């Protein structure tokens, strides 16, 4: 499989309780909106924001494996989007290493953009995160 120019990625993370049992979900599409991959993973005990970051970390690693050049991320977590766009400082000690991981991985790409979307537009990634929490493995 040749390298993919641009990927569109929807990510979501959730925790039942905050912190609590957590899951991540990601839907990875090519620029023609064809499904390339999905991620649905139980991550154990985490906060909601940690789960949101862990979803981005997993998706960016997958995009790297797929050989993408550009990524457009869509998340319903305004905090994570603003932090990744450099508009908010990452003060939470639990989020700092996750932010650094995303930042370092993003350097492998020509362009990475993060956009905030309403929760209603992120149903697929949300469903994958919830399926992972339901499995709880």
Q: Whole-angstrom Cα distance, residue 69 to residue 30?
A: 11
Structural domains counted in the chain:
1
Domain that holds residue 39: 32-132
Q: What is the pTM of this model?
A: 0.96
For position 2, what pLDDT does the model report?
54
Q: Whole-angstrom Cα distance, residue 88 to residue 117?
A: 17
Mean per-residue pLDDT, 5-31: 97
Q: What is the tens place of the pLDDT at every residue in 23-43?
A: 999 999 999 999 999 999 999
Q: Does residue 56 fall inside a structural domain?
A: yes
Q: Does residue 16 fall inside a structural domain?
A: no
pLDDT at 4 over 90: no
Q: What is the tens place of the pLDDT at every residue in 76-121?
A: 999 999 999 999 999 999 999 999 999 999 999 999 999 999 999 9
């Amino acid at each position: 499989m040749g390298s993919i120019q641009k990927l569109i990625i929807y990510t979501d993370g959730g925790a039942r309780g905050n912190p609590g049992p957590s899951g991540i979900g990601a839907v990875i599409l090519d620029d023609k909106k064809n499904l390339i991959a999905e991620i649905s993973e139980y991550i154990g005990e985490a906060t909601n924001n940690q789960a949101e970051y862990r979803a981005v970390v997993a998706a960016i690693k997958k995009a790297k494996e797929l050989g993408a050049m550009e990524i457009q991320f869509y998340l319903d977590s305004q905090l994570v989007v603003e932090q990744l766009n450099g508009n908010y400082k990452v003060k939470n000690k639990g989020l700092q290493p996750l932010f650094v991981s995303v930042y370092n991985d993003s350097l492998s790409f020509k362009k990475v953009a993060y956009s905030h979307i309403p929760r209603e537009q992120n149903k697929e990634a949300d469903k994958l995160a919830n399926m992972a929490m339901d499995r709880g493995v």
